[in-house]
Each structure stands twice: as structure tokens, then as C-alpha cells.
Chains A and B, each alone.
Chain A
């Protein structure tokens, strides 16, 4: 809980701000994750494109087995009650996440949890291995180029973001007392000298 603040009092007792219930939450983490999945699905890279890319000049049988395995892991992560579209989209996310990773690290775990909520770690391990086997015969730069060109997320011009050149200071106000607590004087007025 935040400590008592002047601006809290001003919001409650003055008429210059919008009266809002700050305990009311428009979106919880669950609906936020759903929205993220929805937005991710619109980013351009699709399961069909991945299938085509992985099987085009490769051993189709072997690659298809790995793709199937990746879909299976995706189903465990996204939830078995989800439709084919949601499972394929999750598989795309896992492909993007693990295409240049050899193990499931903290960042990857966090990214998957942010997208799908709690998930079985065995499914993440299995998907990481599947992706590694899928991309092994393709070459790192080839895979990287494929993702860069297909996904709109990688095409946004980060450099054009507002405020990128602004020198921002993280400094904050700290206590600046006039004097320290005078310990020598503590309780001295309480002394009763009985002459």
C-alpha cells in the first residue's frame, strides 16, 4: 500500500481531476495474455510459412515429424482445449523464441509465461529441442533472414520511436535533512534534579 500522499488528498478532496476507482481493473493478466496472442497472430509469420520453409529443400519426412512434435508441445503449452488455429499460432511463437537457442533459459521461460500463462516445463524443453532439430540443416542466417522478413514485429523501425534521443535522468529526490537527530539531547529535559 502506498504511504499517504498529498496528490492522493488532492484527488479525493478537490474537483480538478477525474473521479476514478483505482481498484477497478479493466484488464487482468489472463485477458492481457489473450490479447497478446491475438496481436502476435497478426504479425505475419504463419505456421504454413514455417512448414513451407522447413520442408522446401529438406528431408520432408524427418522435418514433418519434428513439425508435428512442435505442434504437440505447443498444444500442451497453450492448453489442450484450444483450437487448431491457437495451437499453430503458439507453435509459431515457440519457433520464433527458440530458433537461435539451445536451451530454455530464464528469458525464454518468462516470454512463454507472458504469452500463455503457467505451462509444463517439459513441453518447453521438447519444443526447444524440436526447433533446434528443425533449423539445424537450414543454417542460422537463413533462418534469421526468414523470420526477419516474415514477421512485422522485426520490421518496425525501432529507431523512429519518440524520445530516443532524449537524455533522461533516473535521479530522484532523496532526504535532505537540515540536521541529524541530536542524540546527546535525548530525554535530557526529563531529568528532574531534586535540590
Chain B
């Protein structure tokens, strides 16, 4: 047993060696790892035969037993296992990869036994990540914060894709705990902010890829390239194969849900997204891709009408998430600082108005945004906080919003129409 009130990274332990002779070694040492052989996770069989179900249950039982054993280990032994057992990390990674999301096409397990087992793994995986994100378990069991930051970063115990997976898998009902976990990870290891900064362009690339697949022009590197002569032959959302359309919408749905979950749980990440001009790219993507994809889902001939219905729901869900993401970003970057009334309130107000103005050409996006988060309400809030705001400008903005509704041929909900 390791000594108390000394951080784990500074503790030494004396215990019997492989030949039975006692030896002293650091508490955090590969020799103290147990050979446990964690097996990787495989998702539940979709319409499983009894044999497939049995195989899943057997596999899953190994994982739950091993993770329960891990969670019951004392603090020092837990960290030896986490840092030095490659099979444990592969097991956890495989869960993040393969675990069914609530939004997957076939997310409901085929039998109650499978569902129960899936729930057990789900909880055990979460608790394992929670313990891995905790540098101080009690007064006696803790790691020096800086060393903890190094351990989790150097050993890839957490990385940005893993954090995003954690948010989308566990965020719905465990948002507060996840917030604390992620906040602690970023606080103890600020390199995660640089990693996040490096990741945002790849996230933006995902949206460009979707535009490209739909045969639509996009901003960024690809837009700078000269158009090929046979460019017109590129498939569009209407002409691509049905499977490609399904994959594209599933991809969009997963991407928007994941980013939204992450920003919602960890709003501090909004700054990184904001600094990469995410808002502009997102609204442009919305305006360009959504009408095309909607048209394809509505007009294409689907033999399976339930698939058509499902795709529509996924697309509409993605739209909601993009609108909510925009609101989260605006809220974090401008609205919140204005309401807090700090020093640069005026410049935040200016930035907010600029964003709203930049939305004016994106009429479809603007009307959808205004439906969820009435711009008039934000303007009114702004006028209350800063009475000096130029009224001509705000009137112009509000007229632009009205005209966006008109040009997309929609009517505002009754609840939003205020008497003049």
C-alpha cells in the first residue's frame, strides 16, 4: 500500500518482487500493473441470431467484470493500470468508437439481456473516464495537478476526438459531471486548447466535404481551385446513389449533434471555434447545403417511405443543431459579455450586430434562426443594456429579418408577431 498525504507521483512502495524478494519502486510503475487482458468492445448485433447475441453477452461480460475490477482498485493500482495497460486503453477506445449513439439507425438492442448488458458497460466506461479525469479522489489519494496534466496528455488518455465522443455518448443526462471532467482536463493541461485549435479546421473540412459531395461550391481551399471541365458531371444530392445520400445525412446528423453537445457542455470551447470564423462558415454551409439536401429527400423516389421519413427527421434535427450551435457561439462570444456588463460592452454589441448583419444574405438560415431565437428579442436586450445603440441600424436589421421570412415564403409564428 502506498503512503498517505504524498502525491501518487512522489510515492514509493515496498512489495514482493517477481522472485518473492521485497523491493522498493515508484508507486506509479509498469511492474505494478496487473496482466488482465481487457478485450475490445463490439457493438450489439443489430438483428442478432441467438449465437451472435451470446457472443456479444460473453464479450460484454468480460468488459464489465474487468472495468468493475478496475474501479474497485485502490487509487495507486488504478493509475498503474490506466497508464501502463495498453489493452485497457484499447478497450475504452473501442467503446467510444463502436458504442451505439442514441441517434444511430438501429440503436435499440434486440433483447432485454443485451440492453441490460449494454447499460452496464455504458455506466462502467463512464465511471472509468470520470476516475481518469479526477486528479484528486480524496485527501489521501491525489496526483500533483501538473503531473496529472502530463500523464493524461502524454499517454493520450484523453484527446479531442475522445472528449467529443464522451459528450455525445454521455452528455444528455450527465452534462454537469462531464462539464467538470472536461474543465478539469483543460485546466490541468492547457495543451488541449492548442489541440482544439488544431482540430477546428478539420471540423470545418467536414462541412466542405459534404458540400463537395453534393456538387456544391464551397469556400476554403477547394473553392480556389479552377473548376474542372467535367465538373458538371459531379453527382448532386439528387443524382448520387441513395446509399451515398443516406451516409451523407447520417454524417451531417452525427457531426452537428456532436459539435453541439461539446459546445453545450463545455462553452469555453466556443472561443476556439469562433476564432476560426466558424459562424460564417456554418451559416454559409446551411444556406448552401440544406435546401439541396431537403429537396433531394423530398423529391427522390424512396421505396422505403420510413427511410425517407427518417432522413427528413435527421436533416431537420441537423438544422436545429446548427441553429442552436450558432446561438451558443453568439451567446458565449457576445451576448454573455454584454449582459455581464464588463469594460468592452460596446465592442461586443458591435460584434453581435455585425454577425446579425452578416446573416442577412443567408435568408433561409436567418428565418430558421429567428424562429428558434427571435433576433428582435436580442436587439431589445441590447437596447436595454446599451441605450446608445444606433436605432437606424437595428431597424434595418429587423427589416432584413422580416424580408428573409418573406423571401423564403414562410410566415412567422403568431407568438413572435408583436404589434407595432
Which of A's residues lie within 8 Å of B, judged by CB?
2-11, 13-18, 20, 22, 25-29, 31-32, 35-36, 39, 110, 113-114, 156-158, 160-163, 166, 168-182, 185-187, 189-190
Contact = CB atoms under 8 A, between A and B. Distances in A.
Contacts of A113: 58
Interface stretch (B231-239, B254-262, B388-396): B254-262
A5 B261 CA distance: 14
Contacts of A162: 71-72, 78, 127, 130-131, 137
B169 A181 contact: no
B255 A177 contact: no
Contacts of A16: 159-161, 195, 198-199
A179 to B, nearest CB: 6
A27 B66 CA distance: 14
Interface in B57-86: 57-59, 61-62, 68, 71-72, 78, 86
Interface in B29-64: 35-40, 43, 54, 57-59, 61-62
19 contacts: A5-B254, A5-B255, A9-B206, A10-B164, A13-B205, A17-B160, A17-B161, A110-B54, A114-B58, A156-B72, A166-B130, A172-B101, A172-B102, A173-B103, A176-B317, A177-B313, A177-B320, A178-B368, A181-B298
Interface string B115-128: 00001001100110
Interface string B223-261: 000000000000000000000000100110111011101
A29 B55 CA distance: 10
A6 B254 contact: yes
Nearest to B134: A162
Given A26-B86, A114-B61, A179-B316, A3 B199 contact: no
Interface residues of B, number: 87
A115 B30 CA distance: 27
A168 B101 CA distance: 17
Q: Is the interface of A mostly helix, strand, loop or mixed?
A: loop
B172 interface: yes
Q: Is the interface of B mostly helix, strand, loop or mixed?
A: helix
B162 interface: yes
A94 B35 CA distance: 24
Contacts of B159: 16-18
Contact of B298 (A170, A173, A177, A186): A186
Given A4-B250, A110-B58, A162-B137, A173 B199 contact: no
B247 A4 contact: yes
A179 B315 CA distance: 10
Contacts of A35: 35-37
B184 interface: no
Given A3-B105, A7-B96, A180-B313, A163 B71 contact: yes
Contacts of A39: 36
Nearest to A168: B123
A20 B57 CA distance: 26
Contacts of A181: 297-298, 308-309, 312-313
B219 interface: no
Contacts of A5: 251, 254-255, 258
B316 A177 contact: yes
A195 to B, nearest CB: 22
A3 B172 CA distance: 20
Given A31-B37, A175-B314, A170 B119 contact: yes
A168 B174 contact: yes
Interface string B284-311: 0000000000000111000000001100
Contacts of B372: 178
A36 B37 CA distance: 9
Nearest to B141: A162
Nearest to A182: B298
B93 interface: yes
B172 A171 contact: yes
B116 to A, nearest CB: 11
A157 B36 CA distance: 19
